[in-house]
């Protein structure tokens, strides 16, 4: 997501923040249970009316099961409840990501920078470390960073509550023990008031339950975004995780160039040099303190802010300059997958129409 767009975000936390405490691993948190209980209570109140109608009783039971399953798959992620863990994890992933940035050839639109999803977390994909090929995996099941080489060597760095400075020393030391020497910028990217990693004793919280919940949501969102991505015939990015802006995104391109503008910094010069429509998921920060889906078109078409997009709850945010769908609105929509697809497809249609892209770029369902 564009840096200047991210920096101006403002918003408010909605949903279950005031009700949710730390989740237990593998157990739906109170926010989920509250909605499930409401659905169950509704079915209970209807029971005296419909108890003599077997087919209706069966339908009510199925509805309760669907609601329960939907809210377990898409649990609440209140920003304030896991902010400290998110901020610490953000810095740890930046350290991992900067190794990928340093050791891979630069690609257009920074395609070599993001991390990619696995069944257990994130990966750098294989890189050349000078003497051996290696890969860095971030495992949100066992909560550790794994460095594994093509020669069979493995080093593990635990993800636990400790200062980022300590994680940085541990991680870089284990790389060196494998004969991998790499220099990275120790200043965090795309954050306000960055603290160099070796000096960061501020960010020191890691709650595996909240980190695991974030990962479970991220993995579900990625599958829906892959479904959206598959229909595009033109150039498109992978569904990948940008560790700087801390978002999952996918970008479609028309094949035409664009002018990033005279005041663009290096990131923007290399990312906004082509017409594009980008959409993704982001867990929020101090400016927009709630998780949300986002979408923007570059260059911005005139009048796009007036376009109506789907589903209910999605709208243009004038302060950010993007379309926003709060995660809370999507997960409580009844069919979160369809709500997300509606957002991705309707915002793409708005941008593609505004830029005059050919309808043939998207295949029919």
Query: pLDDT of 197-236, one tens digit each?
Result: 999 999 999 999 999 999 999 999 999 999 999 999 999 9
The predicted-structure confidence for 84-106, as pLDDT tens digits, reads as follows 999 999 999 999 999 999 999 99
For the chain, what is the domain count? 3
Kindly give the residue spans of alpha helices, DSSP state H, lying in 104-239: 164-177, 208-229
Tell me, yes or no, whether 18 lies in a domain.
Answer: no
Among 160, 179, 199, give the residue marking a domain's end: 199
Domain boundary, last residue among 165, 199, 233 = 199
Shared domain for 171 and 221, answered yes or no, is no
- Do 157 and 252 reside in the same domain of the chain? no
Asked if 321 and 345 sit in the same domain, the reply is yes
Same-domain pairing of 53 and 126: no
pLDDT at 56 (0 to 100): 52
d(CA 84, CA 204): 8
Q: For residues 64 and 116, state if they share a domain.
A: no
**What is the rounded average pLDDT for all residues in the chain?**
87
67 and 168 in a common domain? no
245 within 8 A of 267, measured Cβ to Cβ: no
CA–CA distances in Å: residue 309 to residues 299, 312, 315: 19, 8, 7
Q: Output the CA angle 44-46-48, nearest 5 degrees.
A: 90
Cα 346 to Cα 93, 189, 308, distances in angstroms: 32, 31, 8
Q: What pLDDT score was predicted for residue 332?
A: 97
Q: Give the pLDDT confidence of 125-172 residue by residue, as tens digits.
A: 999 999 999 999 999 999 999 999 999 999 999 999 999 999 999 999
Axis-axis angle for helices 208-229, 79-103 (nearest 10) = 60
More confident residue, 208 or 268: 208
Same-domain check for residues 171 and 273: no
Q: Which is more confidently placed, 351 or 268?
A: 351
Residues 33-44 pLDDT 10s: 444 444 444 444
Q: How confident is the model at residue 340 (pLDDT cuts 50, 70, 90)?
A: very high
> Model pTM?
0.83
Checking phi first, is residue 293 left (phi over 0); if not, alpha (psi -120 to 50) or beta?
beta
Tell me the residue range of the domain where 316 lies: 3-13+208-361
Q: Are residues 255 and 341 in the same domain?
A: yes
Task: Give the pLDDT score at 59.
Answer: 56
């Amino acid at each position: 997501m564009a840096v200047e767009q991210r920096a101006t975000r403002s918003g408010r936390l909605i949903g279950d923040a005031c009700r949710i405490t730390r989740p237990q691993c593998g157990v739906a948190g109170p926010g989920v249970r509250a909605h499930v209980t409401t659905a169950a209570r509704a079915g209970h109140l209807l029971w005296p009316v419909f108890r003599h109608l077997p087919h209706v009783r069966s339908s009510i039971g199925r509805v309760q099961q669907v609601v329960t399953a939907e809210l377990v798959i898409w649990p609440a992620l209140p920003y304030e409840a896991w902010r400290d863990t998110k901020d610490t994890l953000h810095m740890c992933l930046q350290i991992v990501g900067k190794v990928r940035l340093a050791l891979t050839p630069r690609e257009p639109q920074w395609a070599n920078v993001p991390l990619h999803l696995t069944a257990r977390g994130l990966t750098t994909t294989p890189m050349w470390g000078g003497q051996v090929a290696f890969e860095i995996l971030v495992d949100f099941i066992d909560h550790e960073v794994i460095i594994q080489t093509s020669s069979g060597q493995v080093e593990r760095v635990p993800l636990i509550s400790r200062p980022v400075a300590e994680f940085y020393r541990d991680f870089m030391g284990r790389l060196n023990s494998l004969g991998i020497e790499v220099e990275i910028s120790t200043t965090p990217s795309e954050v306000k008031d960055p603290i160099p990693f070796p000096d960061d004793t501020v960010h020191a919280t890691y709650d595996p339950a909240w980190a695991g919940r974030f990962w479970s949501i991220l993995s579900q969102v990625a599958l829906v975004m892959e479904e959206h991505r598959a229909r595009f015939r033109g150039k498109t990015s992978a569904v990948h995780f940008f560790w700087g802006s801390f978002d999952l995104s996918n970008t479609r391109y028309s094949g035409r160039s664009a002018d990033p503008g005279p005041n663009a910094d290096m990131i923007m010069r290399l990312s906004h040099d082509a017409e594009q429509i980008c959409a993704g998921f982001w867990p929020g920060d101090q400016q927009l303190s709630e998780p949300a889906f986002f979408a923007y078109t570059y260059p911005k078409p005139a009048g796009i802010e007036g376009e109506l997009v789907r589903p209910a709850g999605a709208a243009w945010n004038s302060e950010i300059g993007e379309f926003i769908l709060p995660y809370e609105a999507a997960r409580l929509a009844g069919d979160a997958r369809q709500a997300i697809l509606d957002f991705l497809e309707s915002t793409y249609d708005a941008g593609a129409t505004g830029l005059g892209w050919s309808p043939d770029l998207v295949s029919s369902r």
